[in-house]
């Protein structure tokens, strides 16, 4: 868990990144969304908030939230994608897509992604700096702890001038909202009742008595800084991906994915990214999407890579995806190509929620592979 213990200015206490925070639930009472001032804008806003899932050379997956600010542009926190080898985005009710990092500034804890495909949702507009003020009601949106749909917390702003050191970088003019958010919320927006973005969530910190009612509050990057990042990075080409030891030439283009209606999508998102990583030759990154128990059964990364390095996932048809607590079962039909030819295989994939990310635990074919028709 990355954290910072030095602070500046108005805030005292330890700063924790919401992707790594110990706090699992909001500490304020849940406020019903129905009948609130936010009810008319939340469906459209939620559609533009997604799960960012990436791989890294360390083997540890990267995860957080993000929100759409352009036809193919998504803002997220820098610490969500720092060191990423491959990045993907999944919006609610839609299949995941790959994305490139086009801007990253750790000193502002802000990053921007450009997706490979056009995002068919309305971008969220950034409010002017003067709109956010102490006492303003806000709704935070994000996908924490491996959830498949955006969660919403209704709260209020308590400061727009706080300062703190996050990841060894002094941040200023932070928007503080009076609630604690679960891990994985980093990169999600805090919106006003009219749907405009008032800040981007990046960290949690101990609240101040007399000002904050919550024992832990959330810090967000102000919209003036976010607007500067969007203007600066929109025209940019993608940043080079971090190279990893063990990468190989891509055996295939990576799988298309088809999700059946009603399938819980986030476990399937992880399974798809695993196949995408294998197909693109990013074997070290794919290895990190296996649970520790699965890695142990494989007998080590080199042995696993020798068995999987020449396989290309071409199509993943998810028939069902069910979650039961911290485990999930995905039933799917996989079309894959290997030196021996192309085959379709029906299988049950079991995944486990580890550190807020769904990781592949086991694969059980339910029939013999058949040649591709």
Q: What is the pLDDT of residues 341-369, one digit of tens each?
A: 999 999 999 999 999 999 999 999 999 99
This prediction has a pTM of 0.91
Architecture of domain 3-233 in CATH? Beta Barrel (2.40)
pLDDT score, position 345? 96
Residue pair 164/174 in contact (Cβ under 8 Å)? The answer is yes
Confidence of residue 323 (pLDDT cuts 50, 70, 90): very high
- Give the model confidence (pLDDT) of 71-84 as tens digits: 999 999 999 999 99
pLDDT score, position 2? 36
Residue pair 7/168 in contact (Cβ under 8 Å)? The answer is no
Q: Does an H or E element contain 95, and which?
A: none
pLDDT score, position 18? 59
Q: Determine how β-strand 341-354 pairs with β-strand 357-365.
A: antiparallel
pLDDT score, position 22? 30
pLDDT score, position 130? 83
HEC profile of 41-73: CHHHHHHCEEEEEEEECCCCCEEEEEEECCCCE
Question: Rounded to whole angstroms, how far apart are CA atoms 276 and 216?
Answer: 38
Buried b (16+ CB within 10 A) or exposed e, 281-294: bbbbbbbbbbbeeb
Residue pair 100/57 in contact (Cβ under 8 Å)? The answer is no
Q: In which residue ranges of the chain is CATH 2.40.10.120 found?
A: 3-233
Architecture of domain 256-371 in CATH? Roll (3.10)
Q: How many helices (H) and strands (E) does the chain have?
A: 7, 20
Q: In which residue ranges of the chain is CATH 3.10.450.100 found?
A: 256-371
Token representation of residue 235: 């025209």
């Amino acid at each position: 868990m990355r954290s910072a213990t030095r602070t500046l200015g108005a805030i005292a206490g330890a700063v924790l990144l919401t992707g790594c925070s110990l706090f699992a639930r909001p500490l304020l009472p849940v406020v019903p969304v129905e009948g609130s001032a936010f009810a008319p804008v939340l469906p459209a806003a939620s559609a533009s908030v997604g799960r960012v899932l990436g791989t890294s050379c360390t083997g540890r997956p990267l995860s957080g939230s993000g929100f759409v600010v352009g036809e193919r542009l998504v803002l997220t926190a820098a610490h969500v994608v720092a060191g990423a080898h491959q990045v993907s985005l999944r919006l609610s009710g839609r299949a995941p897509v790959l994305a490139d990092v086009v801007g990253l500034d750790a000193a502002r804890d802000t990053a921007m992604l450009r997706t490979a495909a056009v995002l068919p949702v309305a971008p969220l507009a950034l409010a002017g700096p003067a709109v956010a003020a102490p006492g303003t009601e806000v709704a935070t949106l994000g996908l924490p702890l491996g959830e498949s749909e955006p969660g919403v917390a209704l709260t209020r702003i308590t400061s727009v001038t706080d300062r703190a050191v996050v990841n060894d970088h002094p941040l200023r003019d932070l928007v503080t909202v009076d609630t604690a958010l679960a891990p994985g919320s980093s990169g999600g927006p805090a919106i006003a009742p009219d749907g405009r973005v008032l800040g981007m969530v990046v960290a949690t910190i101990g609240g101040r008595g007399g000002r904050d009612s919550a024992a832990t509050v959330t810090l967000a990057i102000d919209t003036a800084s976010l607007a500067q990042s969007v203007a600066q990075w929109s025209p940019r080409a993608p940043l080079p991906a971090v190279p990893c030891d063990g990468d190989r030439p891509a055996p295939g283009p990576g799988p298309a994915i088809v999700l059946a209606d009603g399938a819980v999508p986030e476990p399937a998102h992880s399974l798809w990214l695993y196949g995408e990583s294998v197909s693109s030759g990013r074997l070290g990154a794919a290895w990190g999407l296996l649970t520790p128990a699965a890695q142990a059964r494989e007998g080590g990364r080199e042995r696993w890579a020798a068995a999987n390095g020449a396989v290309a996932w071409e199509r993943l048809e998810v028939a069902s995806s069910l979650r039961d607590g911290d485990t999930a079962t995905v039933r799917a039909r996989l079309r894959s190509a290997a030196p021996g030819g192309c085959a379709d295989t029906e299988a049950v994939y079991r995944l486990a929620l580890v550190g807020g990310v769904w990781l592949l635990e086991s694969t059980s074919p339910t029939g013999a592979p058949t040649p591709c028709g």
